[in-house]
Chains A and B, each alone.
Chain A
């Protein structure tokens, strides 16, 4: 659905996006992660035919950017970084304007559908300027969907929202995913990316890595099991180290952390051995790394 090859954007002196190559499948939810100034918004603007690339090329739904721009604009939805609503106009009017600009056939019906879906129907006659930040964001999301785009670009959809509003927006995105749309999300919220996205890219001017959140975690840390003991773990570390399948052994106070590929197979044996050696095991669990750890590691490594 979205393919780019060596997509590059330079602003005078600054290189904002450097030779980005991506291939995003239909129905995929793709997370685009990167620190401030990474070039996320610039990438989205290029892929939605708002600005032209300096070099490289991209196709969106088979349409080439810089060539079939009107077709691209007709077929994608974009939630811009700032909602950019007309504050003096009502929610209903805001959406109606966009429905017409997007050449929607059933203007009133579509406007009603999305106002209702996002819980804004009751406030449809109120000026957008009177809405809370969360409601404004929802109105902007409704605006993105009026023409039923197959591809949706969301530039930081939950930035600046309180946890409850953010969850509402997130749930809504999950719902859109269920409808088989292709969704490209720029975000700083790694937890969100972890939960919503099929694949994530870590990006900072250049593409650092692309993979599923799970694979990324594994790629970086392997799998780790933590054993909580009633006593200091130190002596047991040496005992455990004799197992050939262990990749790493680490002890912190009364915690023993072992890295291995198949904990399901090896854990029973390790536990038996530790107990025989006199360890009092209180808890055993898999150590889960958040995507945040992965992200911070990647962004740090390369800078």
Chain B
């Protein structure tokens, strides 16, 4: 455990000196928090004349907000999309940290001396994963907290209730970490094959694709995100996690790292 801690602290000391990583970790959450709040401010002024605009047909919302007015329902709908976008944070941040950390070690050839020490590969891979996942989760939760607090001032109590509905809490507090784990496992496998951290980062961020599909599906009215979808998503991600984790631990063997990694 002492060794895992040593590596985690080392990862943070190293990787946060990297501007690209810092940008991802600091700027993206800011953006994702600011966007929905700005949208709320902008739409708040629309309230008066909403009846005048072409309001979306009721079927479009389905049973999303049965007891809400047309305007409130639009807000809930928009917030849902933004919260869904929030879920990209726990994918992109760990993918970025893990890619830079692993490809960085590869190019510096610092893995061989590390592997020569009596650390087990499981400790090493755990440390790498923790180092990437913790900042991602902490940042996501802080950003989500800021978003929720900001929204508190801007929306009605009813709408706020939708924002902190159990399905979103499950999404942020359970599915988020599961997604982060998936991104890290993907980043480990991809980093073992490529020598450019940016490529590794982008390839492992492909994990957000299903998420994007959900977002797009929701925006065009193809699917409606509800608690069922979120729970299903959690289950699917958990299963994928198990598979990817198994594969990434398999590429993370002393001999493989030293003789097969390119």
User: A: which residues have CB within 8 A of B?
Assistant: 11, 45, 48-52, 70, 73-74, 78, 80, 82-89, 93, 97-98, 100-103, 140, 143
Contact = CB atoms under 8 A, between A and B. Distances in A.
B22 to A, nearest CB: 13
B117 A86 contact: no
Given A50-B254, A51-B254, A73 B118 contact: yes
A151 to B, nearest CB: 12
Given A80-B109, A101-B3, A52 B255 contact: yes
B6 A100 contact: yes
Nearest to B13: A89
Contact of A85 (B18, B108, B116, B120): B108
B257 to A, nearest CB: 9
Interface string B111-144: 1111111111000000000000000000000000
Given A86-B10, A88-B14, A89-B13, A50 B109 contact: no
A100 B152 CA distance: 47
A101 B119 contact: yes
Contact of A89 (B10, B109, B118): B10
B116 A93 contact: no
B177 to A, nearest CB: 27
A101 B117 contact: yes
Given A84-B109, A84-B111, A101-B119, A11 B259 contact: yes
B234 to A, nearest CB: 36
Interface in B1-15: 2-3, 6-7, 10, 13-14
Given A50-B254, A52-B255, A98 B13 contact: no
Contacts of A100: 2-3, 6
B258 interface: yes
Contacts of A87: 108
B113 A103 contact: no
A86 B118 contact: no
Contacts of A74: 118
22 contacts: A50-B112, A50-B258, A70-B118, A70-B120, A73-B117, A74-B118, A80-B112, A80-B116, A84-B108, A84-B113, A85-B108, A85-B110, A86-B10, A86-B108, A88-B17, A93-B13, A97-B10, A98-B113, A98-B117, A100-B3, A101-B3, A103-B118
A182 B111 CA distance: 25
Contacts of B17: 88
Contact of B116 (A11, A50, A89): A50
Contacts of B255: 50-52
A101 B255 CA distance: 19
Contacts, number: 73
Contacts of A49: 254
A249 B122 CA distance: 67
A296 to B, nearest CB: 30
Nearest to B124: A101
Given A84-B111, A143-B113, 20 more contacts: A11-B259, A48-B116, A51-B258, A51-B259, A73-B118, A78-B116, A80-B109, A80-B116, A82-B112, A85-B108, A86-B108, A86-B110, A88-B17, A88-B18, A89-B13, A89-B14, A93-B10, A101-B7, A101-B114, A101-B117
A30 B2 CA distance: 35
Residue of A70, A88, A101 with most chain B CB atoms under a 10 A cut-off: A101
A80 B3 contact: no
Q: Which 4 A-B pairs have the closest CB atoms?
A: A84-B110, A101-B117, A73-B118, A84-B109
Contacts of A98: 113, 117
Contacts of B112: 50, 80, 82, 84
Nearest to A140: B113
A87 B14 CA distance: 9
Nearest to A51: B255
Contacts of A50: 112, 115-116, 254-255, 258
Contact of A101 (B13, B111, B118): B118
Contacts of B118: 70, 73-74, 101-103
Contacts of A82: 109, 112
A93 B255 CA distance: 27
Contacts of A73: 116-118
A83 B119 CA distance: 19
A137 to B, nearest CB: 13
Contacts of B115: 50
A87 B17 CA distance: 11
B104 to A, nearest CB: 9
Contacts of A140: 113
Residue of B2, B113, B258 with most chain A CB atoms under a 10 A cut-off: B113
Nearest to A102: B117
Contact of A97 (B6, B116, B120, B258): B6
Contacts of A97: 6-7, 10
Contacts of A48: 116
A169 B112 CA distance: 21
Contacts of B108: 84-87
A80 B117 CA distance: 12
A70 B3 CA distance: 14
